[in-house]
């Protein structure tokens, strides 16, 4: 009997605890959500701690800190942008290779290529390197052209692809004025060997999902493009091309954050964007583009 | 291996994503809308010749529309997802609009076939003309709206309209010449030729304007197109039924070449200097010539027009022989 009484007492205690917790939960959910400093649960459940860096440290550390600060905001409050300093690009193509490796892109799919342009004649010769990629335009013609809403503009400015929605009509390829999109025709680099090599069969993790290369399955048959490495940045990593850039010529961050390196570079330098006259409002900014003949 | 769509056997690529099959699609749908627009116009203004071909022309219009939709269907990377165009169309996309327009337009074509025996009311004729024109205009917007390509011009839209009318009249003459059996056929053909000559000349003028605007005027393809148009006009002006029919066939082929030429040549322009050579891999190059597979499939698509036409004309009970 005594034992039963104890159990009853505990149950009443638990009941009271549960009741007060429920009341607290209901009360807090009725409160208005904080606008700043909150994290959209569906977007990023993590809170990122800032990195201590000092003047003279590697710029990657600063960009990493910028990235964390941006990720701690709501998605609609950040606006991803890239800055490419053409004075620093050495034309090593490491970004192209890093991108291909990161996204397991097959033959005929390259999200980031580097234009190699020669100017003048010997001995007064100049070579310019201009990396080109998806510009994640503010007014993207590809989004307008897509007949099935397979490509959309996210709140943070990234133009993304919904692979399973894409019908492979390639309207977006022709709509893009930057040639930034390619169609995945299901090719393999090692198709002529006895079997495709494992490195080609490993899944890509684009758009935070696993995409194994299988016959008839997306992304084969789809349009593909640069996505600013969404799967990396939302896990607190810089895009593969930025992390790999040998000349430290590529910068990435939140343009809405006045403290970020990209904001600082855009404000302090004379930046240009590609084909600005088309009104697409690209989000990739170039330093030194005026010296290049495109 | 590991390839799904028929595109894997074609030569189009990421730089030239639309190839021969899309040209064939534009040709068929342009012909369909052009034929039907002329039929509607002919009945609205009581033209003495075109209403005699109401049934044949409408069946041909429906046949070319169906073959056109088949040609665009096989061009898709994911054919099995075609239904998404109906389930989640984007209101900003000309292609999504086109799909819905084709649906309404096909219903109007079938309705016309059913109504022909009792005569077409004026309202129906007006509606038919409006929708066939809408098909042409919206199709041209698919190319003219995106700012990146040379297609981004009003001339391109105008060319779609004139080429559709050229295709329409050439197809009507061809079908009348090839299938008609009555003795007064030469009179009918001459009447149709009188309508065709200004349409072909206007289309040629717009083609030349387009070539000038794209700085393509000296190109061999454009010279061939001019010669084909002129040859078609010369043959159409003869008194022989066979020669007139050949002239119409040359006119049809000329417009196919013109559509192919403007479709491909604009895609061959690199967005930036050195873009094509920046990363060299298969399916990235700024060059295109159709593969044997593409050509065979295209021929099969042309044959499919004949098969669909035969089926609708001879087998389906809703159609009867034309009283030529």
Check residue A5 and give its pLDDT.
44
CB-nearest to B95 from A141, A169, A218 is A169
Cβ atoms of residues A59 and A260 within 8 Å: no
pLDDT in tens, A86-124: 999 999 999 999 999 999 999 999 999 999 999 989 899
Q: Are B139 and B30 in contact (CB under 8 A)?
A: yes
Q: Any idea what the Cα angle at residue B251 is, between residues B246 and B252, rounded to 5°? A: 95
The reported pLDDT for the residue numbered B114 is 86
pLDDT given for residue A23 in this prediction: 52
A240 vs B181: which has the higher pLDDT? A240
Please indicate whether, in this complex, the C-beta atoms of A146 and B149 are within 8 angstroms of each other: no
CA distance B68 to B21: 9
Q: Note whether B17 contacts A191, CB cutoff 8 Å.
A: no
Q: What is the pLDDT of residue B5?
A: 66
Q: Are residues A21 and A29 in contact, defined by beta-carbon separation less than 8 angstroms?
A: no
| Euclidean distance between CA atoms A93 and A99, whole angstroms | 10
Rg (CA), chain B: 20
Residues B27 and B137: their CA atoms lie apart, in Å, by 14
> How many Å apart are CA A111 and CA B294, to the nearest integer?
28
Q: Which of B14, B274, B278 sits opposite A182 (nearest CB)?
A: B14
CA distance B299 to B217: 29
pLDDT of residue B3 exceeding 60: no
pLDDT score recorded for residue B168: 97
Q: Which two tokens stand for residue A70?
A: 């941006």
Residue B4 reports pLDDT greater than 80: no
Q: How many CB atoms lie within 10 A of CB B125?
A: 18
- In angstroms, the separation between the Cα of residue A198 and the nearest Cα of chain B is 15
Separation CA B277–CA B283 (nearest Å)? 12
Q: Which residue has the tokens 């964007």?
A: A273
Residues near A262 by Cβ (< 8 Å), separated by ≥ 6?
Answer: A66, A81, A82, A83, A251, A252, A253, A254, A255, A285
SS3 A39: coil
- Overall residue count recorded for chain A in this entry: 294
pLDDT at B1 over 50: no
pLDDT tens-digit profile of B58-93? Answer: 999 999 999 999 999 999 999 999 999 999 999 999
Q: What DSSP state is assigned to residue A124? A: E
Can you give the pLDDT of all 294 residues of chain A as single tens digits? 344 444 444 455 555 554 554 554 444 444 444 444 444 445 555 678 877 777 788 899 999 999 999 999 999 999 999 999 999 999 999 999 999 999 999 999 999 999 999 998 989 999 999 999 999 999 999 999 999 999 999 999 999 999 999 999 999 999 999 999 999 999 999 988 888 888 898 999 999 999 998 888 899 999 999 999 999 999 999 999 999 999 999 999 999 999 999 999 999 999 999 999 999 999 999 999 999 988
List b or e across A220-243, with b for residues whose CB sees 16 or more CB atoms inside 10 angstroms: bbbbbbbbbbbbbbbeeebbbbbb
Mean pLDDT: which of A189-193, B168-172, B226-230, B310-314 is highest?
B168-172
Does A215 contact B at CB distance below 8 Å? yes
Buried b (16+ CB within 10 A) or exposed e, A151-171: bbbbebbbbbbbbebbbbbbb
How many angstroms separate the CA atoms of A59 and A57, rounded? 6
Q: What tokens were used for B196? A: 């065709």
Half-sphere exposure of B45 (CA within 13 A, CB side): 10
ipTM over 0.95: no
pLDDT value of position B313: 86
Instruction: Kindly report the nearest CA distance between residue A155 and chain B, in angstroms.
Output: 18
Query: For residue range B15-39, what is the model confidence (pLDDT) as tens digits?
Result: 999 999 999 999 999 999 999 999 9
- Quick one: pLDDT at residue B318? 58
User: B144: which 2 tokens?
Assistant: 């003219």
Cβ contacts of B82 on chain A, cutoff 8 Å:
167
* pLDDT tens figures, B119-156: 888 888 999 999 999 999 999 999 998 888 888 888 98
> With contacts defined as CB-CB under 8 Å, which chain B residues touch A168?
5, 7, 76-78, 81
DSSP string, A233-260: HTTT---HHHHH-TTS-EEEEETT-TTS
A117/chain B closest Cα distance in angstroms? 7
Residues 6+ apart with CB under 8 A from A177: A141, A275, A278, A280, B146, B147, B148, B149, B271
Measured between alpha carbons, how far apart are the two ends of chain B, in Å?
A: 53
Q: How far apart are CA A55 and CA B296, in angstroms?
A: 66
């Amino acid at each position: 009997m005594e034992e039963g009484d104890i159990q009853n007492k505990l149950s009443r205690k638990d009941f009271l605890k549960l009741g007060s917790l429920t009341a607290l939960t209901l009360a807090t959910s009725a409160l208005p959500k904080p606008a700043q400093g909150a994290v959209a649960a569906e977007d990023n459940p993590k809170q990122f701690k800032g990195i201590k860096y000092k003047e003279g440290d590697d710029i990657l550390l600063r960009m990493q800190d910028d990235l964390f600060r941006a990720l701690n905001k709501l998605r609609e409050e950040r606006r991803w942008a890239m800055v490419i300093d053409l004075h620093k690009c050495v034309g090593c193509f490491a970004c192209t290779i890093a991108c291909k490796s990161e996204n397991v892109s097959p033959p005929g799919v390259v999200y980031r290529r580097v234009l190699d342009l020669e100017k003048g004649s010997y001995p007064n010769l100049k070579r310019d390197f201009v990396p080109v990629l998806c510009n994640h335009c503010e007014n993207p013609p590809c989004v307008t052209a897509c007949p099935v809403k397979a490509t959309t503009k996210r709140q943070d400015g990234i133009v993304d692809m919904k692979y399973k929605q894409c019908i492979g009509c390639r309207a977006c390829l022709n709509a893009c004025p930057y040639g930034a999109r390619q169609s995945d025709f299901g090719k393999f680099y090692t198709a002529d060997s006895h079997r495709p090599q494992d490195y080609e069969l490993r899944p890509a993790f684009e758009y935070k999902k696993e995409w194994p290369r299988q016959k008839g399955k997306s992304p084969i048959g789809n349009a593909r493009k640069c996505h600013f490495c969404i799967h990396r940045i939302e896990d607190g990593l810089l895009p593969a091309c930025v992390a790999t850039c040998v000349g430290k010529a590529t910068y990435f961050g939140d343009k809405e954050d006045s403290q970020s390196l990209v904001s600082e570079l855009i404000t302090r330098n004379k930046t240009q964007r590609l084909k600005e006259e088309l009104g697409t409002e690209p989000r990739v900014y170039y330093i030194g583009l005026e010296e290049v003949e495109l | 291996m590991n390839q799904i769509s028929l595109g894997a056997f074609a030569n189009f690529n990421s730089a030239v994503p639309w190839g021969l099959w899309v040209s064939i699609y534009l040709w068929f749908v342009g012909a369909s809308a052009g034929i039907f627009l002329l039929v509607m116009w002919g009945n609205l203004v009581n033209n003495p010749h075109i209403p005699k071909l109401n049934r044949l022309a409408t069946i041909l219009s429906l046949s070319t529309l169906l073959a056109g939709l088949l040609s665009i269907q096989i061009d898709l990377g994911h054919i099995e997802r075609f239904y998404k165009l109906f389930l989640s169309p984007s209101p900003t996309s000309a292609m999504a609009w086109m799909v819905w327009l084709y649906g309404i337009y096909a219903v109007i074509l079938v309705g016309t076939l059913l109504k022909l025996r009792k005569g077409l009311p004026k309202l129906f004729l007006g509606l038919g003309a409006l929708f066939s024109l809408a098909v042409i205009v919206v199709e041209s917007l698919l190319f003219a709206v995106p700012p990146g390509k040379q297609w981004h011009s009003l001339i391109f839209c105008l060319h779609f309209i004139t080429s559709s009318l050229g295709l329409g009249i050439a197809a009507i003459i061809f079908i009348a010449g090839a299938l008609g059996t009555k003795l007064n056929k030469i009179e009918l053909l001459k009447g149709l030729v009188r309508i065709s000559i200004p349409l072909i000349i206007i289309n040629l003028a717009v083609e030349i304007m387009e070539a000038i605007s794209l700085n393509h005027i000296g190109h061999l393809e454009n010279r061939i197109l001019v010669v084909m148009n002129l040859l078609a006009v010369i043959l159409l002006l003869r008194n022989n039924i066979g020669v007139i029919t050949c002239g119409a066939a040359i006119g049809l082929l000329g417009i196919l070449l013109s559509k192919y030429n403007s479709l491909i040549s604009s895609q061959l322009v690199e967005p930036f200097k050195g873009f094509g050579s920046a990363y060299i891999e298969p399916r990235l190059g700024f060059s295109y010539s159709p593969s044997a597979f593409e050509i065979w499939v295209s021929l099969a698509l042309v044959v499919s027009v004949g098969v669909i036409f035969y089926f609708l004309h001879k087998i389906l009970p809703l159609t009867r022989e034309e009283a030529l």
